[in-house]
Amino acid sequence: MCDLRLPEGVSDRSGDTANGVALDLADAVAGFLTARLREAPRASLVVSGGSTPLPFFRALSGKDLDWGRVDVLLADERWVEENDDASNTRLVRENLLKNKAASARFLSLKQPGATPSEGLERVKAELADLALPIDVLILGMGNDGHTASLFPDAPELESAMNPECQEIVAPATPASQPQKRITLTWPPLRDARFTALHLKGEDKLQTLDRAMSEPDKVLEMPIRAFLKPGLQVFWSP
């Protein structure tokens, strides 16, 4: 257990090791996708980049489910080419879209264009037939309280977090980050059927604790918007 008092309705799925939590998360996600595929022609899986998800990606890639009917996409992406070490697309292709998951359909947030704004229409076209609501959403969190690329210092944050935002994807240009980014906006993320927050390390636990201390100040720590009933927290030391 993560020995934090999580908000009402938020489940603690913490474990003693990063690998154990990754395996547990992979089991939960595979189970949810399998159940969805009994009811719907396709299912959607939105994952986050960064370093935490790697063991989860590798475990999920081996799960036996009808991957040909699963749409996989990122919650956000750095606006870099796929051969760049900072590319989340590269991370997903190398660690998740292999083994049994190789047959999943990947919808890429990185499209041609010098900037996210220039490429935005192409990204929207790529996501045009993505069925909403998202079925499975895996979020990470930075120690500034960002999630996806909803950064506190992004000039676009307020519009991306607006519950009335009509766009499902938007550029993000936080000064704190070396690359411009593109991110799913709050409404599609908010409405996911299954949302997991995947965290590793004591620092992330302290950040989560800080986030819970002032839950209404969402623009200061965007993760706060997700600390709602139904969220499952998968944390390991």
Q: Enumerate binding residues for ligand 6PG (CB under 6 A).
A: 48-52, 75-76, 88, 140-142, 146-148
Query: Based on CB atoms, which residue is closest to ligand 6PG, 40 or 203?
Result: 203
CB of 203 to ligand 6PG, least distance (A): 9
Angle between helical axes of 88-95 and 54-61 (0-180°, round to 10): 40
Task: State the maximum Cα–Cα separation within the chain, in Å, rounded to a whole number.
Answer: 45
Query: Based on CB atoms, which residue is closest to ligand 6PG, 162 or 176?
Result: 176
CB of 229 to ligand 6PG, least distance (A): 22
CB of 19 to ligand 6PG, least distance (A): 15
Query: Based on CB atoms, which residue is closest to ligand 6PG, 65 or 188?
Result: 188
**3-state SS class at 194:** strand
Angle between helical axes of 18-39 and 54-61 (0-180°, round to 10): 50
- Which residues, at least 6 apart from 17, have a Cβ–Cβ distance to it below 8 Å? 236, 237
Query: Based on CB atoms, which residue is closest to ligand 6PG, 145 or 187?
Result: 145
For residues 181 and 127, what is the distance between their CA atoms, to the nearest angstrom? 16
CB of 37 to ligand 6PG, least distance (A): 25
